[in-house]
Amino acid sequence: MSGTSLDGVDAVLLAINGTACKVEHIHFLPYDNALREELLELHGVGSNELERAALIGNKLSHIYAEAVRRLLEKSAISRSNIIAIGCHGQTIRHRPEAGFTLQIFNPALLAELTGMTVIADFRSRDIAAGGQGAPLVPAFHQAAFSHSSISRVLLNIGGIANLSYLPANAEVTGFDTGPGNMLMDAWISHCMQQAYDKNGSWAASGKVILPLLEKMLSEAFFSAAPPKSTGRDLFDLKWLQSHLRPDYRPEDIQRTLLELTAHSIASAIKQYCQDAEEIYVCGGGAYNLCLLTRLRELLHPVKIELSDVLGIAVNSVEAAAFAWLAQQSMLRKPGNLPAVTGANGPRILGAIYAS
């Protein structure tokens, strides 16, 4: 999995036995700054986009193959024991309202480089069926984390934040809540040339700018009802800068961006997950102590823990989800939840590139 944070590739080796899922090994392979900048440029309109996307897609395939190689080397497991690779690719456009989403890499090349079956392009079929194509992880969350008598929320805070509501006695729902780390990462990179705000320390040094928070929260996405999804097509540095005034202090802007993430998540949970008794957090935002503290304040007395408590570490859940979705494809079973994405019905997701 390589997500909207553009920090690198999370690779996991997932053992699935019936409904039981166990992450056996993990490996993280970071992107270098040059690749990250190339990918950021592709999110906007530019010249020669088709060729640039194809070439970067090939480059990504080599990076994914290296992540697989290192993962297998670390685990001492032969590639002959791997059923398939589920690879999400790198999103550079997400426009479900226009009928498309685009995740780039070259799955045929990845199959050649690894000698393994590759499943890719998970989102397009759901969009073709009238859905958002996202989030797709709630089906995995339901399989791996649901409880027969406890209503839970699985909260993923990546570049974008999304949640899965797993009620004890009702239908699973889920949707994107808005920016997760993406705007905070963009602002600290712009101001201080740092990739992210470790522990939310810079944000903690600032104060919330209430007029700025209110202005950002007036964005129509936040008041829209689910199903809904979003990405860099809306929430990027340009969007943020359109809301700023010259007299705002940089650290206060960072604190306000943290509040935007916390407030939008908490508001969504209060409105759409009213019976939630437990919240489990995964994704890079789980390491932001200031953000977690704020979420606990806003959602008290609901218990908030990391997904590690349920057996899958915070940095493994998203990649494990696409391994599980790959298995669904191989078994010709649906991978989407229409109540989550808004699709016209359950669909088998993914294109298979056989070894």
C-beta atoms surrounding 58 within 10 Å: 15
How many residues make up the chain in this entry? 355
Q: How confident is the model at residue 19 (pLDDT cuts 50, 70, 90)?
A: confident
40-49, 256-265, 300-309: least confidently modelled range: 40-49
Residue 143 corresponds to which amino acid? A
pLDDT at 18 over 90: no
Whether 187 and 240 have beta carbons less than 8 Å apart is answered as yes
Q: How confident is the model at residue 22 (pLDDT cuts 50, 70, 90)?
A: very high
pLDDT at 89 over 90: yes
What is the residue-averaged pLDDT of the chain? 97
Q: Domains in the chain, please, with CATH? A: 8-134+316-353 (3.30.420.40), 137-310 (3.30.420.40)
Of 28, 33, 32, nearest in space to 9 by CA: 28
DSSP symbol at 202 = H
Mean pLDDT of 299-323: 97
For residue 293, give both structure tokens: 């503290």
Mean pLDDT of 104-127: 98
Q: Which residues contact 17 (CB under 8 A, 6 or more apart)?
A: none
DSSP symbol at 148 = S
pLDDT at 249 over 90: yes
Whether 32 and 39 have beta carbons less than 8 Å apart is answered as no
Whether 114 and 295 have beta carbons less than 8 Å apart is answered as no
pLDDT at 91 over 90: yes
pLDDT at 138 over 90: yes
For the chain, percent of residues with pLDDT exceeding 90? 97
Q: How confident is the model at residue 118 (pLDDT cuts 50, 70, 90)?
A: very high
Mean pLDDT of 61-72: 98
Longest dimension (CA), the chain: 60
DSSP symbol at 227 = S
Q: Is 215 exposed, middle or buried (0-12, 13-18, 19+ CB in 10 A)?
A: middle
pLDDT at 182 over 90: yes
Q: How confident is the model at residue 303 (pLDDT cuts 50, 70, 90)?
A: very high
Q: How confident is the model at residue 260 (pLDDT cuts 50, 70, 90)?
A: very high
CA distance linking residue 233 with residue 221, whole number of Å: 12
CA distance linking residue 242 with residue 39, whole number of Å: 22
- Containing 103, the helix (H) or strand (E) segment is strand 100-104
Q: How confident is the model at residue 290 (pLDDT cuts 50, 70, 90)?
A: very high
